[in-house]
């Protein structure tokens, strides 16, 4: 899909994948020479969002298709979260991973195009749930006290789907935080991907995993497609036809 300025497409060559991995290394590890590849890459499709004028890669993410909740244990997220509750989800699922925008790119249209491309896949493949790990930079939970307090107050996963603790190093924000969050400060501190999930009715785990390999804190994030507010769904589909 294309807009006036940006083009979103799936990686088609090894060179495309190399560009995606290089951007991931810059975004997650701060060094384009670093390695950011794992065994899941070969099983995934990789989305590229490019600036049409310059050809620069401005956003990338990968997609892992899961036939139903019974197979969710094979996902990347299942390394960090006990996802047995989601085994009962009877519908197609897609894990969205390694979502990143090129450092220094501030145009909000990049995120909208990325989600518009994802909406096209969701509709074409009749996906029932999107899920993945939404990452905060750094490993100190105190820097995001308001963000985590807001997640606890408004965006906890339904009990029937709620992930349990699996990783050895976690921050149990739902149990530990009780203060009233400053909503403006909380939203400002949240990563763009997570904010978008929440605006569409997404929910999160009750704890964050401390990922020292990537230098992040992340929360499991789920979005039941059938529960996305109709106005939001229309906006995303409008991008698809742009």
> 47-99, pLDDT tens digit by residue?
999 999 999 999 999 999 999 999 999 999 999 999 999 999 999 999 999 99
Question: What are the b/e assignments for 8-30, b being 16+ CB within 10 Å?
Answer: beebeeeebbebbbbbbbbbbee
Residue range 143-179, pLDDT digits in tens: 999 999 999 999 999 999 999 999 999 999 999 998 9
Q: What CATH superfamily is the domain 6-240?
A: Gcn5-related N-acetyltransferase (GNAT) (3.40.630.30)
Chain centroid, CA 132 distance in Å:
5
Q: Locate the domains of the chain by residue range.
A: 6-240
Task: Name beta bridge partners: 177.
Answer: none
What is the mean predicted confidence (pLDDT) over 204-225?
A: 96
Helix, strand or coil, per DSSP, at residue 37: coil
What whole-number distance in Å separates Cα of residue 242 and Cα of residue 239? 5
Q: Is the pTM of this model over 0.85?
A: yes
- The residue with greater pLDDT, 237 or 12, is 12
Give me 76's structure tokens.
């990347």
How far is the C-alpha of 45 from the C-alpha of 17, rounded, in Å? 9
129, 211 contact by CB (below 8 A): no
94-111 average pLDDT score:
95
Task: Note the pLDDT tens digit of each residue in 223-239.
Answer: 999 999 888 777 766 65
Strands 57-66 and 93-101: antiparallel
């Amino acid at each position: 899909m294309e807009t006036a300025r940006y083009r979103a497409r799936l990686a088609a060559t090894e060179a495309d994948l190399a560009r995606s991995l290089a951007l991931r290394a810059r975004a997650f590890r701060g060094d384009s020479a670093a390695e950011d590849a794992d065994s899941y890459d070969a099983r995934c499709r990789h989305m590229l969002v490019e600036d049409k004028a310059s050809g620069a890669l401005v956003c990338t993410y990968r997609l892992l298709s899961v036939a139903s909740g019974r197979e969710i244990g094979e996902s990347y997220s299942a390394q960090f979260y006990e996802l047995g509750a989601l085994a009962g989800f009877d519908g197609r699922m897609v894990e969205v991973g390694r979502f990143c925008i090129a450092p220094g790119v501030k145009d909000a249209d990049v995120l909208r195009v990325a989600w518009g491309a994802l909406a096209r896949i969701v509709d074409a493949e009749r996906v029932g749930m999107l899920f993945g790990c939404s990452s905060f930079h750094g490993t100190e939970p105190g820097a995001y006290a308001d963000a985590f307090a807001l997640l606890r107050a408004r965006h906890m996963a339904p009990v029937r789907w709620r992930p349990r603790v699996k990783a050895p190093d976690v921050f149990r924000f739902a149990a530990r935080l009780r203060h009233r969050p400053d909503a403006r400060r909380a939203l400002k501190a949240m990563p763009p991907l997570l904010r978008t999930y929440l605006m569409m009715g997404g929910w999160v785990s009750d704890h964050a995993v401390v990922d020292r390999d990537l230098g992040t804190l992340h929360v499991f994030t789920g979005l039941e497609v059938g529960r996305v507010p109709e106005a939001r769904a229309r906006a995303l589909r409008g991008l698809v036809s742009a």
